[in-house]
Structure 1
């Protein structure tokens, strides 16, 4: 039994009826800074490459179908997700004949992290570990280039890109940079469909983001996910993904995990994609949970600004209008993660569109 299934069974036993804080205290499994100790549903490979003068590695799953249809799908995870959270989608796609590649981006999950800031020790200032890369310029362009390099190493010339949340921002950037290699584009509750700073969300320094991230606990993750990802609902099946994240903050690499998270939040806040949606020329599917309210930094904004943020039904319709060849599928009762909250409805809509939609030339 995989760790994911063990945690899910434990969650079900403790919270069979409803979400209960008492069942899940903040003590629990501890994982390494590259999610060491947490099992993925398929074999994890490593792509070693050089970027910005540093030796890095991307973890990824490459799952082959039983009856191939000749097409490849790339799954890009969100900010508080990992490749493992695509578990059910990988199974659905491979059973339908697709080869599926699901990477962890640099700075996330099982892939390379950059060093945490200098901190005082009895012997002076030291980084958390001298073996880590000492810095990295996180941009969506860079993450797209890393993903492209991975696909080139695997001999993948064209693919359907599916991105969820922050992964949607990466998928959009990838499609803009490599339009001839993007057959289709699927955006699952992507963030970046509005410019938060232009709307009045105050900026945070990386140092401030870091201080906030150091306070992360299983309870804070769970409360946020319940409110935003699952539209106020809770199911025991969601708990493994809480523990996946919380375990890295319990482990020996807490500082480096929090630092990378802070850098990534700064990237997300400062690099909206909304202004370039009209340049996407490939067939594009927008899959939106209408009860999603995600907006980076919304809790920092004044009440009048906060009230204007994260209105996904409006954002989705505006995005669908801006993207030349867009199809919009809405899930009225779902939140930020429809693929997890209602996998049956999500996968039916996804597979139907993939089969019927044209592929870019």
Structure 2
């Protein structure tokens, strides 16, 4: 694949490529990376195969408030990325469940699996049922926001409150004019991932051009699986899930969401899968989060919008104190 094609394929996955960089090496299920809390396993069968879903189940450290928060990670993130949010919520009296979705991080990496937001939502629903959880606050970030929205649509009785943190999927990229890239093209792009451009991408889109040493841990986490022996399978699942998020928009279903919804939007975010392969006039219109956040708040019947104008795609990592103060305030408003 030539350089231009590789850049196009990888940009569509929200991560760039470039030179090599020494980093930690992890197994295909993120073996070797330390999670902040004990990791448990939910074994189940899906699409005629046995699978294992990793998750953290953290009890309240403060006085229990009787509520449960379920944290859904983004595409280039893991349950471990919620580390500071888990601590804050637990201290505030919440029981916190943070799973790794099938195909990601500590969970199974099936070679043959039809990835869909409906399937991942059902897997999460089955996990909560196994833990006897009837109601929960569902909090999703980035791709996890798309999944959280689909979960709220498919399993409304299980959702006490919905929280979307800089979710992608607030627009339909394909409808907007972004060309389709095949899974094979995505996969070839994934195989060329490097540490340094992954870091450069996060610097630009996640942290608004200002890097802090504590961010290195999350680049190391994300890239370590590509440096390890399971690179090809990790890359294949990432290509499959890239196709999922591009071809399965949730934006058109926002008016059908019943749960009270809190939108937490970093205004500097410009994330738009596939924008680099779109014509320039199309690309310029995509990922305008201040506008997208307001349109989404209007589309979801019972939505409240809290904006962070100076923050980017990951406000919970970039400015945890500011973010968590707003999150707790929004949760208490229920």
Q: TM-score range by the shorter chain?
A: over 0.9
Q: Is the 8 A contact 2:20 2:194 kept in 1?
A: no
For the pair 1:91 / 2:87, whether they are aligned, the reply is yes
The residue number in structure 2 matching 1:81 is: 77
Q: Which residue of 1 aligns with 2:68?
A: 72
Q: Shift of residue 25 of structure 1? A: 6.2
Question: RMSD of the TM alignment (CA)?
Answer: 0.9
Please name the residue that 1:52 is paired with: 47
CA offset at residue 241 of structure 1? Answer: 0.3
Aligned to 1:346: 323
What does residue range 1-361 of structure 1 map to in structure 2 within 5 Å? 26-66=21-61, 67-115=63-111, 135-357=112-334
- Quote the offset at 1:114 in angstroms: 1.7
Residues 147-178 of structure 1: per-residue CA shift (max 9 Å, x gap): 00000000100000000000000100000011
Match of 1:11 in 2: none
Q: Which runs of 4+ in 1 moved over 4 A?
A: none
SS in 1 for 2:161: strand
CA distance in 2, matches of 1:266, 1:25: 26
Show CA shifts across 1:256-310 (max 9, x none): 1100000000000001110000011111000000000000111111111111100
Q: Secondary structure at the match of 2:236?
A: helix
Q: For residue 307 of structure 1, give the secondary structure of its aligned residue in structure 2.
A: helix
CA distance in 2, matches of 1:199, 1:322: 18
Residue 137 of structure 2 aligns to a residue whose secondary structure is: strand
Q: Which structure 2 segments of 5+ residues have no match?
A: 1-18
Shift of 1:232: 1.3
Residues 26-80 of structure 1, C-alpha deviation per residue, up to 9 Å, x if partnerless?
A: 1121000000000100000010000010100000000001321111000000000
What SS is found at the alignment partner of 1:251?
Answer: coil
Q: Is the 8 A contact 2:267 2:290 kept in 1?
A: yes
Output the CA distance in 2 between the equivalents of 1:36 and 1:308: 40
Instruction: Judge conservation of contact 2:59–2:94 (CA < 8 Å) in 1.
Output: yes
SS of the residue corresponding to residue 187 of structure 1 reads strand
- The answer on whether the counterparts of 2:205 and 2:269 sit within 8 Å (CA) in structure 1 is yes
Specify the SS of the correspondent of 1:287.
strand
More relative contact order in 1 or in 2 (CA 8 Å, sep 6+)?
2
Distance in 2 separating the partners of 1:307 and 1:355 = 37
Counterpart-to-counterpart distance in 1, 2:273 and 2:249? 11
Once the two structures are TM-superposed, the CA of residue 349 in structure 1 deviates from its matched residue by 0.4
CA distance, structure 2, for counterparts of residue 26 and residue 258 of structure 1: 18
- Give the TM-score normalised by the residue count of structure 1: 0.86
